[in-house]
Amino acid sequence: MELKEQRFAAKGRLATALLQWLNLRPEEGERTWLMFAFYTVTSIGMLWLEASTVGLFLNEYGAESLPWIYVAGAGLGSFLGVMYSWMQRFLPLRQVIVSVAIFMAIPLLFFRVALNIAIAAAVTIFLMRLWLEAIFALNDLNTSITANQLFNIREIKRTYPLISSGILLADVISGFSLPVLLRVVGLNNVLVTSCVMMLLGAFLLFYLSRTYKQAFPDAPRTTSLENEPDFTNRRLGGPLKGYVIPLFGFFILAEALHLVVDFLFLSELEQQNPAGQDLAIGIASFLGVFNGILGLFELVMQWFASSRIVERFGVFAAATLLPAAVVLLSAFSLTPILPFFWGLVSLKFIEELLKYTLIEGTGPVFFQPLPDSIRSNIQSMVNGIAEPLAVGVTGVAILAAIWVCRMIFPQATPQEILGYQGTVFLVSVVLMGLGWFFIVWILRSRYLGLLVSSAERGRLGVSDVDMRALKRTVVETLEQKGNEDDKRSCIELLTQIDPEHVGEALAPLLPNLTPNLQRQSLEVMLNHPNPIYTSHLRTLLNQTVTPEVLALALRYIWLTEPELDIEQLRPYLRADVDPVVRGTAASSIMRRGNREQKAEATNALRHMLTHKQERERVMGCRALGEADYLQGLRLFIPNLLQDESLRVRCALLEVIASTHLEEYYPSLLRGLYYKSTRESAMRALVRLENEILDRLVALAEDIHKPDLVRMHAWTAIGQIGTLESLNVLVNHLVTSWGTTRRNILRILLKIPKEGGIEGVLDRIGRSGVEMLIDQELMLMGQIYQALIGLNPEETVGREANLLRRALRDVISDSVDRLFLLMKFLYPLGSIQAAAFNLKSGVRTNMARGLEILDNTLDIPSKRILLSILDRRADEEKLQSLSELIAIEPLSASDRLRRLVDLRHFISEWPLACCFHLARASRWSLSAEQTLACLNHPKSFVREAVLAYLKVASPRALAELLPRMKNDRDRLVASQVKEMMAELGIADSPRAASSTAGGPQGFPNYPGLPGLEAT
């Protein structure tokens, strides 16, 4: 038994390690492998079909007829794309994807039968080749839509590269197996095996859609066209228009070049075999082996080389590899150096290899500079309109080129004409490759310009662009005359992209920048000081600069050059020097001077800290923060913490953090209590990082502290941003409830670059977030049972109405937390749009919000959640929640006791309303419930419990009141004194016990002597 357990544990560790190596989370593994299997199996069938169909087509019609396929295929592909969208309006999506997968395979059986009919064979072969073009587009569309439904936007970044490599594996398997398949079943029967494989893929897709049915909307897509964003009515101008036009050209040229190379390759392949039936088999066998070898190289390229090439050379350099290789190979094929056929084989090989690895992988990056509002529309227009149109136009162009060659050389033999055509098309490939170079160059320059001008910070990574080109663009923008805000955005963008080497671009420009830009540049350069830039700063010091710039430049130089003579700083200690410069000089001397020099600097700072002018004291405090050792200046800190100037106190809080004065850390925490010092205290606490983490957690967990202070403590923990602080937030997210959970969710969502979202998913996974969603739904189930049990017909009165309104607020709070939780799994824009529409209260808007969620959510409790958010009766919502909780019919009084048992999960006001209703209705509550709520941190809850006890058990109240006369809340203490006076209770509980008595109808509770009606 132990051996079996060890084996299972070893398998589990192996599976976990494999998922980590593939950058997958455990809950994503099954879906990813099933999608990979579906795409691979379907692609194997389609690639078998492609090789056999191409062989039959070339044997029957020849390569010259291929352009007609390109033209007709473009039209058919567009038509099927429209049909795909049309089907979604009448069928649920999971039925659409399975139906399309079956629809792609079934015609192959009819084609197989028609091939045996002599009169229909030629037409059938043409239709097969046309159908092949269409189903490749349909399969890609089906796969991408299914993946987008199964995975959210964060998951698909990890899973789709693995899924998309299924076609590369299919290339290998189908390529090497096809020659054997041809010998075993024959060319015509390959259609049957292809159909079987595609149907197997459809079965896998059916299994996926049933297993993960929550990922697919049950209802057809009914959104009208009026509600869809219409890009065609928007006018593009300026840099955006200058970028979008070459962007279209990039993808159009890529598709056109691919078709011309494919036509050249198949034309020459046709000439390598004698005419007859063997031609089709020979072509199919050759294509099988060719695709198999190509698939091996594509797999290796995709898994091991593509990302490294992009990371090392940048996106634009990677995009030029394909046209460079195509131009070189085409040029060699035009010379006797390389045999014409093998030159075309090499050209086809390299074009396919780079197109389906580098170009397909980097293509989405080119859409990143576009605004969010139009990016998806532009991408849809490129893929859905521009590329099919490019296919059709290229087909017409090829036909025109063939016709022109025949018109110019009417006396030439067919073999000579083919030679002329090959030369023309190779020259056109060279020209298109050169045109590609030009378009990539335009895109790169405008890509950077668009990013710089719009300051789209946070989207661009170092691997996305050539850093030298970016720096050159920033330098050009800063050197030109223009708006200072635009130049400030340039510096911010460069800081986001490459903070460690920002000085390389900014240091030479410092003398020519405005004082504000000089200050900004020096501040970002000080984050990563480097001695190689000090010569530029010395040039700056020779000019007339503002005191702030002078102080920053001095600080930079003295941080980076340890061998400088400290005596050069002594003149800056004079009283007539601006305090910001004097403070910087004093702090530098205190770090690196000798004993006498440090004493002189200390004396200068002492005068600044005790000066009558506020600016002197502020700059003195800031200088303290830059000094390594405070020496005797520590004596001034207690007085400065009580300084009348807010700026001085705020500056001192940052000094405490920068110098790690642990004995004053409580002052940082107290700074969170006051609005005037809160921002400075937050910055100081965040600067201390893990050193202050335990104290912040203790403050945030203390339920007796003000909610606002606790929230800012959680916020500071989130801004610290270390692994330890993220662990704290995630751990408390799982164990907290109510307002605390809401605050933590908001803080995690605000962490830059989705660090909080990824942190939650890394630690508790998607299943953990789904568990939190289910918890909120289960709480809502209890609240709905309470609302139904405390219905207005049976439970009347002001207190009952207050409780019902409070319970509605609990449901509203839970809905808010549900939307926050959904943002961890789905795009923020979709969830915000759904929340906005649902909260509007307008029926049409609510329907739109529900449809957005229906098409976005894929959690198991999706149906329950949609039912809760819909405009339905409480009974219907409770019925839908019966899948998660047990529905218990309880009396109104028992339901109220159940609510009090849920005191840790509901907010304070509904809990107080429970005691008010119990008092008014003379319902009994247990001693445990009463005493627990009597210790509640919220004063109005304790007031409600005292009011309840006054009616329910005056005897127990008499014993408890003397213990509460010094309550921490003055209102509660005043209430206690009034009750003691009303009941004539002295400070001694024994003196008051004889006067205690209870009204009829409240039985004595044996658990607490004297406590009645509980």
Of the CA atoms within 13 Å of residue 568, those in its CB half-sphere come to 9
The answer to whether 858 touches 870, Cβ cutoff 8 Å, is no
The answer to whether 668 touches 659, Cβ cutoff 8 Å, is no
Q: What is the number of residues in the chain?
A: 1014
Angle (CA) 233 235 240, round 5°: 135
Q: How far is CA 646 from the centre of its chain?
A: 40
The DSSP result for 228-242, as a single string, is S--GGGSPP-HHHHH
Choice between 547 and 633, residue whose per-residue pLDDT is larger: 547
Residue of 155, 157, 168, 160 whose CA lies nearest to 143? 160
> For the chain, how far is it from start to end, CA to CA, in angstroms?
53
Question: Which residue, chain included where needed, has tokens 């001095």?
Answer: 554
**Angstrom distance (rounded) from CA 206 to CA 209:** 5
Q: What is the pLDDT of residues 930-943, one digit of tens each?
A: 888 888 888 889 88
**Angstrom distance (rounded) from CA 909 to CA 940:** 8
pLDDT band at 59 (very low <50, low <70, confident <90, very high): confident
**Angstrom distance (rounded) from CA 804 to CA 862:** 27
- Exposure string of 98-114, with b = 16+ CB inside 10 Å and e = fewer, is bebbebbbebbeebbeb
Has residue 686 got a pLDDT over 90?
yes
The answer to whether 942 touches 934, Cβ cutoff 8 Å, is yes
- Sign of torsion, CA 891 897 903 907? positive
Has residue 144 got a pLDDT over 70?
yes
Residue of 37, 81, 41 whose CA lies nearest to 211? 37
**Per-chain mean pLDDT for the chain:** 82
| Predicted local confidence at residue 462, as pLDDT | 42
Has residue 584 got a pLDDT over 50?
yes
> What is the C-alpha radius of gyration for the chain, rounded to an integer number of angstroms?
37
- Model's pTM, two decimal places? 0.77
For the chain, how long is the longest CA-to-CA vector? 130
**Angstrom distance (rounded) from CA 371 to CA 746:** 25
Per DSSP, 356 falls in state I
pLDDT band at 1008 (very low <50, low <70, confident <90, very high): very low
| Predicted local confidence at residue 801, as pLDDT | 92
Per DSSP, 705 falls in state S
For helices 515-525 and 547-560, angle between their N-to-C axes, nearest 10 degrees = 20
The answer to whether 677 touches 653, Cβ cutoff 8 Å, is yes
Question: Which residue, chain included where needed, has tokens 């082996």?
Answer: 289
**Angstrom distance (rounded) from CA 394 to CA 386:** 12
Q: Identify the weakest region by mean pLDDT among 154-168, 736-750, 829-843, 888-902.
A: 154-168
pLDDT band at 159 (very low <50, low <70, confident <90, very high): confident
811: Cβ–Cβ under 8 A, 6 or more apart, which residues?
780, 783, 784
Most confident of 112-121, 453-462, 735-744: 735-744
The answer to whether 914 touches 896, Cβ cutoff 8 Å, is yes
Has residue 1013 got a pLDDT over 50?
no
| Predicted local confidence at residue 865, as pLDDT | 92
The DSSP result for 572-589, as a single string, is GGSTTS-HHHHHHHHHHH
CA distances from 882 to 209, 513, 734, 866 (A): 25, 67, 23, 14
CA distances from 409 to 398, 402, 908, 970 (A): 17, 11, 93, 106
pLDDT band at 221 (very low <50, low <70, confident <90, very high): low
Residues of the chain with pLDDT > 70: what percent?
Answer: 86
Angle (CA) 309 314 320, round 5°: 80
Beta-bridge mates of residue 1012: 1004
Per DSSP, 840 falls in state T
**Angstrom distance (rounded) from CA 689 to CA 695:** 11
**Angstrom distance (rounded) from CA 387 to CA 70:** 12
- Exposure string of 674-701, with b = 16+ CB inside 10 Å and e = fewer, is eeebbebbbbbbbbbeeebbebbbebbe
**Angstrom distance (rounded) from CA 191 to CA 132:** 12
Of the CA atoms within 13 Å of residue 913, those in its CB half-sphere come to 22
| Predicted local confidence at residue 1001, as pLDDT | 32
- Exposure string of 162-201, with b = 16+ CB inside 10 Å and e = fewer, is bbbbbbbbbbbbbbbbbbebbeeeebeebbebbbebbbbb
Q: How many CB atoms lie within 10 A of CB 806?
A: 19
The answer to whether 759 touches 733, Cβ cutoff 8 Å, is no
Q: What is the pLDDT of residues 798-838, one digit of tens each?
A: 999 999 999 999 999 999 999 999 999 988 888 988 998 88
Q: Backbone phi, then psi, for 1004, in 5-degree steps? A: -70, 145
Has residue 225 got a pLDDT over 50?
no
Take residue 372 and report the two structure tokens written for it.
């969010």
Give CA torsion, residues 74, 75, 81, 85, to 10 deg: 160
Q: What's the whole-number mean pLDDT along residues 453-472?
A: 51
Has residue 335 got a pLDDT over 90?
no
| Predicted local confidence at residue 285, as pLDDT | 84
- Sign of torsion, CA 168 169 172 174? negative
Q: Identify the weakest region by mean pLDDT among 102-106, 316-320, 515-519, 647-651.
A: 316-320
**Angstrom distance (rounded) from CA 620 to CA 143:** 65
Beta-bridge mates of residue 906: none
CA distances from 598 to 579, 590, 626 (A): 18, 5, 14
Choice between 802 and 511, residue whose per-residue pLDDT is larger: 802
Helix (H, G, I), strand (E, B) or coil at 1012: strand
H or E element that contains 2: helix 2-21
Q: Backbone phi, then psi, for 93, in 5-degree steps? A: -60, -40
| Predicted local confidence at residue 1006, as pLDDT | 32
| Predicted local confidence at residue 237, as pLDDT | 54
Beta-bridge mates of residue 1004: 1012
| Predicted local confidence at residue 936, as pLDDT | 87
Take residue 928 and report the two structure tokens written for it.
């445990």
Choice between 40 and 69, residue whose per-residue pLDDT is larger: 40
pLDDT band at 153 (very low <50, low <70, confident <90, very high): low
Q: Identify the weakest region by mean pLDDT among 256-260, 460-464, 743-747, 896-900.
A: 460-464
Residue of 888, 891, 772, 751 whose CA lies nearest to 825? 772
Choice between 304 and 819, residue whose per-residue pLDDT is larger: 819
**Angstrom distance (rounded) from CA 402 to CA 383:** 28
The answer to whether 573 touches 595, Cβ cutoff 8 Å, is no
| Predicted local confidence at residue 461, as pLDDT | 43
The answer to whether 236 touches 446, Cβ cutoff 8 Å, is no
H or E element that contains 86: helix 66-88
The DSSP result for 8-74, as a single string, is HHHHHHHHHHHHHHTT--HHHHHHHHHHHHHHHHHHHHHHHHHHHHHHHHHHHT-GGGHHHHHHHHH
**Angstrom distance (rounded) from CA 775 to CA 753:** 28
| Predicted local confidence at residue 74, as pLDDT | 79
Take residue 801 and report the two structure tokens written for it.
């109405």
Helix (H, G, I), strand (E, B) or coil at 518: helix
Has residue 553 got a pLDDT over 80?
yes
**Secondary structure tally for the chain: helices H, strands E:** 49, 0
**Angstrom distance (rounded) from CA 965 to CA 858:** 55
**Angstrom distance (rounded) from CA 467 to CA 464:** 9
